[in-house]
Amino acid sequence: MVNQHRLAETFERLVSIDSISKQEGRISEEIQRMLAPFALKMIVDNAGESIGSNTGNLIVKLSGNRNIAPLMLNAHMDIVEPGLGVRPRLKDGVFTSDGTTVLGADDKSAIAIIIEAIRVLFENNLSHGPIELVFTICEEIGLLGAKNLDFNLISAQYGYALDTADTECIITQAPAMNQFEIFVHGRDAHAGADPEKGINAIFLASQAISGLKLGRIDPETTCNIGIIEARGATNIVPNMAWIKGEVRSHDGKKLEKVTRSIVSAFKDVNEEYKRLNGEEMLPRLDIHVENEFKRTLIPMDHPVVTLARKAGSNLGRNITPKKTGGGSDANIFFDKGIITGVIGTGMCDIHSVRESIRLEDMVKTVNLLLEIINIASRGACQS
């Protein structure tokens, strides 16, 4: 029932529309045009006003022909840079860009898959309950669309985000993440004439960082410093250094422990300098820690999992529950009480100009969605 040619055309059309973060307006309009024949209601919320995007999150509500609980399907509309002027190419069943931009399969493959599944449902009058489609903005820059989504517009209590690569898995566990931002304030001075009068903020920051364990802390926890910045000149002792990083963990206690250890490392270096040099006011720290998202942990017997696994089995596939180190809109939905598993579309080498996706994998995910919807329409949510 899946129209592969139409699916390919839909994907090509979507990736050809510029939609880097905060510029999702045009693709939102195209999605609305494509889904208008099937939609009961289409709503654009006010999230864009808070975030600075030229549109909000798009919620599309579809009526069902079965009286069952609604199902949510989610994808994000934004892509990373370089993502302007994408020119898709299809060769031997594989989509790529022309090599100068990303392709945008993350996450426009998901959008194309959802649209094709809805078309097949309605064209063939297949059994289905109410469906709520949630297309978010600004996912790639901190899940901002989901964080600012008007959840009063969503009635579904479970669903699926299409935002990973593996088409044979469902992600049931994702970590929580803390982001930290630290400003080290020193004192400027002439680096050649009066270095003794300065307090080198870069040196202090490097002392603190040298004592940290970065990368994989344990099987559940990671830590990374992604930004170190200081501005000035080589003949000036730098008076400020900016450090930004993150901690992720599937264990809340470990998340807080590692975060505290990072903060303590900077505080210890700061205090030790003051003690040794008799300083009172400088060096000084400004430290900001924010929880970016909470973890997800879906029980193996939850309908989100049993539905996906049963659907896969019906199609001769083994859909395996997995743990990931990444975050997605699913983390935000889960925290709001919408139990959301993450399923794959086949996208490869995302966030690079080598990004690609096989049309065959997209078809597989359309079929998986259709079978999930079919099983749910019969109330068969248990394995």
Of 24, 30, 132, 139, which one is the catalytic site residue? 139
Q: From the candidates 24, 45, 78, 106, which is the catalytic residue?
A: 78
Task: Give rounded-to-5 percent helix, strand, coil for the chain.
Answer: 35, 25, 40
Determine whether 78 is an active site residue. Answer: yes
pLDDT computed for residue 279 by the predictor: 84
- pLDDT by residue (tens digit) across 98-134? 999 999 999 999 999 999 999 999 999 999 999 999 9
Element (H, E) at 246: strand 240-249
3-state secondary structure of 256: helix
- The residue behind tokens 């099937």 is 38
Pick the CATH number of 4-174+295-377 from 3.20.20.70, 3.40.630.10, 3.40.50.1970, 3.40.50.300: 3.40.630.10
pLDDT tens sequence across 165-215: 999 999 999 999 999 999 999 999 999 999 999 999 999 999 999 999 999
| Distance from C-alpha of 122 to C-alpha of 290, rounded to nearest angstrom | 44
3 has pLDDT over 60: yes
**Mean pLDDT throughout 47-61?**
97
Measure the CA–CA gap between 350 and 282, rounded to whole angstroms: 44
What pLDDT is recorded for position 379? Answer: 80
Q: In this structure, which amino acid lies at residue 23?
A: Q
Angle among Cα 122, 124, 130 to the nearest 5 degrees reads 35
Q: What is the mean pLDDT of residues 367-374?
A: 98
Tell me whether residue 105 is exposed, middle or buried, using C-beta atoms within 10 angstroms of its C-beta: 0 to 12, 13 to 18, 19 or more: buried
Residue 382 has pLDDT above 60, yes or no: no
Q: What is the 3-state secondary structure (H, E, C) of 141-182?
A: HCCHHHHCCCHHHCCCCEEEEEEECCCCEEEEEECEEEEEEE
Find out whether 130 and 111 touch, Cβ atoms under 8 Å. Answer: no
Q: How far apart are the C-alpha atoms of 247 and 183, rounded to whole Å?
A: 17
Q: Residue 337 gets which letter from DSSP?
A: T
Nearest residue to 60 (alpha-carbon basis) of 120, 111, 124: 111
Query: Residue 381: pLDDT above 90?
Result: no
Distances in whole angstroms, Cα of residue 198 to Cα of each of 17, 50, 194, 243, 277: 51, 41, 7, 20, 12
- The pLDDT value given to residue 143: 97
Average pLDDT over residues 51-67: 97
pLDDT value for 383 = 39
pLDDT at 237 > cutoff 60: yes
- Domain positions in the chain are 4-174+295-377, 176-292
- DSSP-derived pairing of the beta strands 94-96 and 356-358: antiparallel
Tokens of 168: 């044979």
Q: Give me the CATH topology for the region 176-292.
A: Alpha-Beta Plaits (3.30.70)
The pLDDT value given to residue 280: 86
Which pLDDT band holds residue 380 (cuts at 50, 70, 90)?
low
Closest CA to 315 of 372, 380, 383: 372
Q: What whole-number distance in Å separates Cα of residue 244 and Cα of residue 228?
A: 7
pLDDT digits (tens, 9 = 90+) for 311-350: 999 999 999 999 999 999 999 999 999 999 999 999 999 9
Provide the CB-side half-sphere exposure for 307 (13 A, CA).
Answer: 28
Is the per-residue pLDDT at 286 higher than 50? yes
